[in-house]
Amino acid sequence: MIQIQQWLLPPKPLTLPLNHHYHRRRSLPRQHFTKKHPLSLRVYNCITNTSEESSSSKEEGVKNRGYPFNEIEPRWQTYWDENKTFRTPDDDQHLDMSKPKFYVLDMFPYPSGAGLHVGHPLGYTATDILARFKRMQGFNVLHPMGWDAFGLPAEQYAIETGTHPKTTTIRNIDRFRTQLKSLGFSYDWDREISTTEPDYYKWTQWIFLQLLKKGLAYQAEVPVNWCPALGTVLANEEVVDGVSERGGHPVIRKPMRQWMLKITAYADRLLDDLDDLDWPESIKEMQRNWIGKSEGAEVEFCVLGRDGQETDSEIVVYTTRPDTIFGVTYLVLAPEHPLLSSVVSEAQHNIVEEYIEAASRKSDLERTELQKEKSGVFSGCYAKNPVNGEAIPIWIADYVLGSYGTGAIMAVPAHDTRDHEFALKYNIPIHWVVTSDECSDDFEKPYAGEGVVINSSSSASGLNINGLHSKEAAVKVIEWVEKTRNGNRKVNYKLRDWLFARQRYWGEPIPVVFLDDNGETVPIPETELPLTLPELDDFTPTGTGDPPLTKAVSWVKTVDSTSGKPARRETNTMPQWAGSCWYYLRFMDPTNSIQLVDKKKEMYWGPVDVYVGGAEHAVLHLLYSRFWHKVLYDIGVVSTKEPFKCVINQGIILGEVQYMACKDHDGNFVSADSIDALGEHKQERIPEENVTKSGNSFVLKDNPSIRLIARAHKMSKSRGNVINPDDVVSEYGADSLRLYEMFMGPLRDSKTWNTSGIEGVHRFLGRSWRLIVGSPLSDGTYGNQTVAVDESPSLEQLKSLHRCIEKVTDEIEATRFNTGISAMMEFVNSAYKWDKLPKSIVEPFVLLLSPYAPHMAEELWFRLGHTTTISYEPFPKANPAYLKDTTVTLPVQINGKTRGTVQVEVTCTEDEAFKLASLDEKLSKYLDGKIVKKRVYVPGKILNVILERESTKVGSR
C-alpha cells in the first residue's frame, strides 16, 4: 500500500482535503502544512488554490463542465508525481519477487517537435489500463517509458536551423513527457531512459562488440540507397518513389563499404520460434515472408561466346521450381550483377549502361512492384540451358534484385506472371511445361501452380520428367543437376544481412578503430566504453560521401590503446534501430553501470508480457529485436529465447471525416456518383454543418441531389486534420480522452476521430460523479461529501454490481476495453433508479472505474473516506452467487390473450404467480371482480388465467 501522508489530511472532522471550492470557504489551517514537509505546502497551495489564477473565472469554468476535472486531474498528477506512486522498486530489499510480475510496454516513441496527437495515446491508454488492473490484482508491475531519440529527423532539423540535435532532442522529450503526464499514465518515471544518453548507448556499443566477437558484425561493399542531399545511406523504407521520405531528395543506388550484421545466421531460429509466440497471425506471417525461406536448387547456365561455344563464365540461378527448367526461354540478370560486364556485347554496351544508371535511382520496392510495367534490355549474349542444350538470351531487368538469391533468375514465362509480361513485351518465346486438370487446354495465360509436367525430356542430357507431378519432377531435376555437376540442392532466404551503418552525426559511434599502418579493424576495449560523440557545430553533409564525423579531426585521429599504434576512428554511426533493439532490457535495470542488466532482475521480469505498438513496426523493429535477443541469449545475458511474449497492434485513429463536393469545369456542383463520366473534376471541402445524411450517403443540405465524398485520412499536418490532445484535455479532461479512445471501438481496429463523440463519455463521467457526489451547489461547485450510505445493499443492487464486475474484468483481460466501458455505463443507468446508494456498492464500482478514469477514481476514493491511494487497492471479484438469474419475466395471459408480464422468482408457485399478477396495476383491471374458471401455469414460461364469461339475456337492457 502507498499510504497517503498524514500531513495531507486535515484535522477532524474534515476527512477529505481535496475539494478546492470547499476549502476556499472553510479555510484549512496553513500551520497544518509545516516546513517539515515542503511537498505538503505545495499540495496545500494546490488544494486551496492560493495562486492568483484561482478566482471567479475558474468558478465559471466549473459551472460549464460535467464535473470539476480541471481541479481533480492536476491535483492527482501532482500527488502521483511527488509520491512516486507508480515507482517499481529496483532492489531486492523492496521488490518481493515471490509475487507474480507483469511487464507491459509501449513501443519506444520518437519525440518529435510536433508533440503528441490524439492517435498516440490509443496504445498508451490500453497499456495503462492493463498496468493499473494488474497492480490492483497484486502483481508487481513494470510499466516504463523512454525515448528512441537518435536518428535522421533530429539531424536534419539541426542542419536546417543550426541548433544542436541534443538541444532539440531534450526539448522534444520534455514536451512529450509533459503531455504524457497530463494524461495520467502510470509510468515509473524513475526508469526513464533515452538512447542518446552515453550511460545508455555504452551498452548498445557493448552489444556491437559482442556481435563482432562472434563474427556477426563485418564490413562489406554493398549497393545502398545513397541520398546526396542528405549525405547519408537510407534504409529501403526511408525511400519512396525514388526520393527520400524526409525532404523528397533524389536517391541513387551505389556501392559503399558498410558495416553489416549477420542476421541471416539466425534465419531458421527466427522463423521456427514464431510458432510459440502469442502474436497476431498477420504479424507472424509478415515476418515469415520477410525471412522468406524456400527450398530449391542452384543451377549453372554456361555463358556462350560469340561463336556459340561454351566459355568459362557461368551464371548461377536459384529456383524453387526445378520442375519447370525445360520451360526456360531466357535468363535475367540484376543491373548490379557482378558478371554483367563480361556478358554484355560491345553493340549493347551503351544501352545497358544507361539502363543500369536509371535502375540505380529506384528503390528495391519500386523495382519489385508487381503492378509496374516491366522493363529491361538485351545483353547481346546467350547462355546454354543445361538440360536441353538450347541457347537462351541473357537480359538485364530491374525487377530482379542483386540482393536476393544469386542476382539472376531463369525466366519461365509460361509459368510466372512477371516473366510472362516481360516475354510478351519483348517478343520472347513461351514454352508450356506444366499443365493442370483445371486449365489443360488454356495456353494463353501463365499457370504458376503445380501439376503434371509436359514437354520436358532430352535424349542428349538423359533427363526425362514427362508425366511426373511437379514435386516428383523437382526432386528428379535436383538429383540430375547434382549428378552432372550442373548445380546443387539449396535452401534460400529472402532475408538479407542487416546494413548497420549510417553517414550521420546523430547516432551511436561505432566502437572500433582502424590502424594507420595496415588498416586493420580493432575493437576498442570494453573498459573504454562509452565512446561518446564529439561536439560538432557543422552537421552538414560533406558532399564527398564521407560522414559528418570526419570533420571532428582531433576525435578521428587517435591511438589504439592496446598496441599504441596510430589509428583513426570509425566515422559512420549506428542506425536508429540500434538503440530500440534492446531498450526493454534496460528498463529492467536502468542504472546498472556494471552490466547491461542484472541476471536476477532479467530472470524475474523477462520476457515482456504485453508489448503494444503500431503494425508499421511488425517486421523490422520486431525482427531486429528478436535477432539481438537471441544473440544475448547465446552469450548468457538473457534467460529467454524471445523478448516479447504477446504483441498487440493498436489500430490507427484517423482524422475527422472530411466532406468533399465535386465541381465541373464551370464551377457547378455535381454528384460524386457521376464523376467518372465527367473525367477531370475539382473538389471543394464542405463544412460539416452544411452536410446531411441520406441513406448510406452524405449530401448537401441545400441540395440533396449532390452526393458528397466522405473520407477520413491519417492525421498529418499537411491535411490539417491533427487533433492536439492538449486541447481535448483542456476542454473535456484527461479521463474523458482516455475513455473516448477506448470506447471508439476494438483496440486493434482503425477508427475515425469525432470530437462530438467525446461528449458522450464526458457525460457518462459527469453522471458517475453526480451519482456518487450528489448534485452541484447553486454556484456550480460540489460539497466534499458523497451520497453513499452505510446500509446493506438489496439483492438487485448486488446483482447489478457483480454482473458489472464480471464483465469489466473479462473485457480488460481480453483487451476489449470498449465493451468494459459499456458495462459500467449500464451499471450507472441502473444505479440512478435506486432510492439509496450503499457504500458497499459504490466502492467496488469506483475500483472498476479506476484503470480507465484514474483521476476521478482517486478523488472519489478519497471522498469515500480512504487514506490510501486507490492504485493498489484489490480489484473487485465477482461473486458467482449474484451472477445467477433467480428471477424471470413471466408472460400473463387473460383468456388466452397476453395482457402483461410480472417478475417472479424461478421457484415461484402457481399461487404466488397469480397473486403477483393480481397485484400488478396493469393486470389487476382484468381480474378485479371476475370469477376465475381455470388457471394454466407453466413454471418460468407462462400463466394463463381463464375467466368465466358474463352471460347477457336477449332483450334485456
518: domain CATH number?
A: 3.40.50.620
Residues 542 and 658 in one domain: no
- In angstroms, the CA 128 to CA 815 distance is 11
- Of 464, 493, 522, the position where a domain reaches its end is 493
The answer, yes or no, to whether the previous bond of 13 is cis (omega within 30 of 0) is yes
Least Cα distance to 689 among 638, 756, 787, 624 occurs for: 756
pLDDT higher than threshold 50 for residue 34: no
- The predicted structure's pLDDT at residue 443: 66
For residue 411, give the 3-state DSSP assignment.
strand
Query: Is 7 a member of any domain?
Result: no
Among 622, 649, 676, the domain-final residue is: 649
Per the domain annotation, does 195 fall within a domain?
Answer: no
Helix (H) or strand (E) holding 904: strand 897-905
Cα–Cα–Cα angle for 265, 266, 270, rounded to 5 degrees: 155
Average the pLDDT over 311-336 and give the result.
95
DSSP 8-state symbol, 672: G
pLDDT tens, residue by residue, 150-203:
988 888 888 888 889 999 999 999 999 999 999 999 999 999 999 999 999 999
Nine-digit cell at 311? 566459355
Q: Do 474 and 621 share a structural domain?
A: no
- 669 with 781, same domain: the answer is no
Same structural domain for residues 120 and 234?
A: no
Q: Are strands 557-559 and 566-569 parallel, antiparallel or unpaired?
A: antiparallel
* CA contacts within 13 A on the Cβ side of 509: 26
Q: Which domain holds residue 329?
A: 293-493
Kind of pairing between the strands at 217-227 and 252-261: antiparallel
Q: What is the CATH number of the domain that holds 769?
A: 1.10.730.10
Same domain, 178 and 113: yes
For residue 922, is it within any domain?
A: yes
Other Cβ atoms closer than 10 A to 795: 10
For 570-614, write each residue's pLDDT tens digit.
999 999 899 999 999 999 999 999 999 999 999 999 999 999 998
Write the pLDDT tens digit of every residue in 549-571.
Answer: 999 999 999 999 999 999 999 99
**Count of domains for the chain:** 6
Rg (CA), the chain: 36
CA max distance for the chain = 135
| Whether residue 519 sits in one domain with residue 605 | no
For the purposes of burial, counting CB atoms within 10 Å of the CB of 60, is it exposed (0-12), middle (13-18) or buried (19 or more)? exposed
Alpha carbon distance 129, 812 (integer Å): 8
* 66: CB partners within 8 A, 6+ apart: 762, 763, 765, 766, 767, 769
CA 817/CA 559 separation, integer angstroms: 59
Q: Are residues 210 and 146 in the same domain?
A: no
Please check whether residues 428 and 309 belong to one and the same domain. Answer: yes
pLDDT of residue 471: 94
Q: Are residues 486 and 503 in the same domain?
A: no
User: 222 near 261, Cβ under 8 Å?
Assistant: no
Residue keyed to cell 508499421: 616
- The pLDDT value recorded for residue 628 is 98
Contact 321, 474 (CB under 8 A): yes
Q: Are residues 315 and 440 in the same domain?
A: yes
Cell of 773: 457526489
State pTM to two decimals.
0.81
pLDDT at res. 117: 85
Q: Is residue 194 part of a domain?
A: no
Q: What is the residue whose three cell numbers read 539449396? A: 490
**Same-domain check for residues 739 and 794:** yes
For the segment 881-894, the average pLDDT, to the nearest whole number, is: 88
d(CA 729, CA 180): 11
Among residues of the chain, what percentage have pLDDT more than 70? 89
Between 541 and 76, residue with greater pLDDT: 76
Residue 225 has φ and ψ, to the nearest 5°, of -85, 105
**CA-wise closest residue to 321 among 469, 484, 424:** 469
Domain assignment present for residue 346? The answer is yes
Question: Does residue 60 form part of some domain?
Answer: no
Identity of residue 919: L
Stated as kind and residue range, the H or E segment containing 255 is strand 252-261
pLDDT, tens digit, 9 for 90 and up, residues 806-826:
999 999 999 999 999 999 999
Give me the pLDDT at residue 755, please: 82
Q: Is residue 271 a part of any domain in this protein?
A: yes
Whether residue 40 is contained in a domain is answered as no
Helices and strands (H, E) in the chain, number of each type: 30, 39
Q: What is the pLDDT of residue 439?
A: 53
Dihedrals phi, psi of 319, to nearest 5 degrees: -135, 140
Given 686, 704, 722, the domain boundary residue is 722
Output the pLDDT for position 158: 84
For residue 817, which of 744, 733, 885, 755 has the smallest C-alpha distance? 744
Question: Residue 441: pLDDT band by 50, 70, 90 thresholds?
Answer: low
Verify that 163 and 116 share a domain, yes or no: yes
Report the chain's terminal Cα–Cα distance, integer Å: 84
Question: How does the average pLDDT of the chain come out, rounded?
Answer: 87
